[in-house]
Amino acid sequence: AAPPPASGPARPLPEGAVLVSAGNQWDYVDYAALSREVRAGRLSVVSVLYDVIAADLPWTTPAPPDLYHRHWVEIGHLSSRLVAISEHTARQYRALIGAPNLIEVPIDACPLPLAFVARAASLSPVPVPSLEGRRFVLYVSTIETRKNHQLLLHAWDRLLRELPPEAVPQLVFVGAWGWGTEATRLMVERNWRIAQHLQVLSGVPDEALLWLYRHAMFAVF
């Protein structure tokens, strides 16, 4: 393979530069280079914190937990402020990462805006034909290990063992298939008991999603 092209001279950072990191940067960030800029006073870093699931439930993440743990420790020491997407995430970070690593960076809880909720008033709900006139329970989420769809599948299997089929509502998953879903796929594809009580929907437009939320018995997450 041809060597990568040489990079040009680095541009000096403008005075008072602030780097806002709102992505999952553990795969590519150069912590040492970032640290040099911060320590030299040329840069302030603000990092968005989504969760620390790998520290609490390490078996639910695709990469080794050490990768995420190092990232959370590094941003704690490098950032002038963290912005967590919930009070729970802020508490979890302080307990699982901050306290054990002597990190005292300020953390603000700032829930993400919900564009779907903001748009709901302007949308016209579109029914999902396979669910019209039926009772159903809704779960909207990427289908992957850490979202725990298996728990719901086991619950519905038990309901169908203990109750008449007509007493059990439909279970509706809305979302694309993600990683680590082998066991979930097997249950979806081969469990004959729940086959008639489960629907998996992907690529659902907002108008149909609005209808689903408004007509579900309740939603789970």
What pLDDT does 12 receive?
Answer: 79
Q: What whole-number distance in Å separates Cα of residue 217 and Cα of residue 170?
A: 10
> Could you give phi then psi for residue 174, rounded to 5 degrees?
-115, 115
The amino acid at residue 5 is P
Q: For residue 172, how many other CB atoms are within 10 A of its CB? A: 23
What pLDDT does 1 receive?
Answer: 55
Element (H, E) at 117: helix 115-119
Closest to 220 in 3D by CA, of 149, 169, 159: 149
Read off the pTM. Answer: 0.74
- Token pair belonging to 32: 């040492």
Q: Which residue, chain included where needed, has tokens 């439930």?
A: 57
What pLDDT does 20 receive?
Answer: 92
Closest to 184 in 3D by CA, of 217, 214, 141, 220: 141
The overall longest dimension of the chain from CA atoms, in Å, is 72
Q: What whole-number distance in Å separates Cα of residue 15 and Cα of residue 11?
A: 12
Residues 85-133 have pLDDT tens digits of 999 999 999 999 999 999 999 999 998 888 888 888 888 999 999 999 9
Q: What whole-number distance in Å separates Cα of residue 199 and Cα of residue 138?
A: 10
Q: What is the pLDDT along the chain (221 residues), one digit of tens a residue?
A: 555 554 444 677 888 899 998 887 777 788 898 899 999 999 999 999 999 988 988 887 778 888 899 999 999 999 999 999 999 999 999 999 999 999 999 999 998 888 888 888 888 999 999 999 999 999 999 998 888 899 999 999 999 999 999 999 999 999 999 887 888 888 888 889 999 999 999 999 999 999 999 999 999 98
What pLDDT does 9 receive?
Answer: 44
